[in-house]
Amino acid sequence: MMWKHKINRILRKIAIPQLMYIVSGGMAVVFLAEYFMPELGLSGILALDMSRVMQGEIWRLVTFVFMPSSYSLLWLFFGIYFNILLGNGLERELGSDRFTLYYLTGMLGAIAAALLTGWGTNLYLNLSLFFAFALYYPDFEVLVFMILPVKVKYLAILDAVLYGWGFITGSGSDRMAIALSLINLILFFGPSGLKHLKQQASYWKTRRNFRKNYRR
């Protein structure tokens, strides 16, 4: 079909290979600038402050993705490592074009939330990468505190509970930020993600029944 070919051509044009290396590299640059040249106030220049965007500082609509996840060197290192790990895994599964579209959709969601709340963050955008990665690689193990091996699916469940609670108990602004910043996850993985979760639940139920019957 012609429309499918047109969409594929558009996706190929917007594809940014190894996108998360670029984003993570930007985070590292901002962190180093804040550490060695705090007088620049680079974070304040790049953050998604919609009042400043309305005054013409439109670069903030893009540069907010480079805001560091932490200003602790240790946690920044883990954050960058994890972002690259997630990005590479998703790019491998989706391809550079669809992964770029996924990330851009998340950015638009974060911007939409900022239009309603006045301020935007890349926190939930990066979280959407984690949830998507958990759908593809539920049994992938990460070392928590470099010691304890934990499967990604359990960390994803914990995060979902924590942010679900934040959505329930948070302010209207918090709810908007969470819901809109995760819109890419819903659009890309809504039906397939639920199907995958049902398959996983069925698998674990069958496994439990087998163990129970085997012990008898």
SS (H, E, C) the chain: CHHHHHHHHHHHHHCCCCHHHHHHHHHHHHHHHHHHCHHHCHHHHHCEEHHHHCCCCCCHHHHHHHCCCCCCHHHHHHHHHHHHHHHHHHHHHHHHHHHHHHHHHHHHHHHHHHHHHCEECCHHHHHHHHHHHHHHCCCCEEEECCCEEEEHHHHHHHHHHHHHHHHHHCCHHHHHHHHHHCHHHHHHHHHHHHHHHHHHHHHHHHHHHHHHHHHC
The superfamily (CATH) of domain 18-215 is Rhomboid-like (1.20.1540.10)
Q: pTM for the whole thing? A: 0.79
What pLDDT does residue 5 have?
46
For residue 6, list its beta bridge partners: none
Give the pLDDT of the chain (216 residues) as one tens digit per residue.
Answer: 443 445 456 556 777 888 999 999 999 999 999 989 988 889 999 999 999 999 999 999 999 999 998 788 888 888 888 899 999 999 998 888 889 989 998 899 889 988 888 888 888 888 888 888 988 888 888 776 667 788 888 888 888 888 788 778 877 777 777 778 778 888 887 665 555 555 554 555 565 555 555 555
Q: Are 151 and 139 in contact (CB under 8 A)?
A: yes
Compute the distance between CA of residue 60 and CA of residue 56 in angstroms, rounded to an integer. 10
- Sign of the alpha-carbon dihedral angle for 184, 86, 88, 198: negative
Q: Are 48 and 62 in contact (CB under 8 A)?
A: no
Compute the distance between CA of residue 61 and CA of residue 42 in angstroms, rounded to an integer. 15
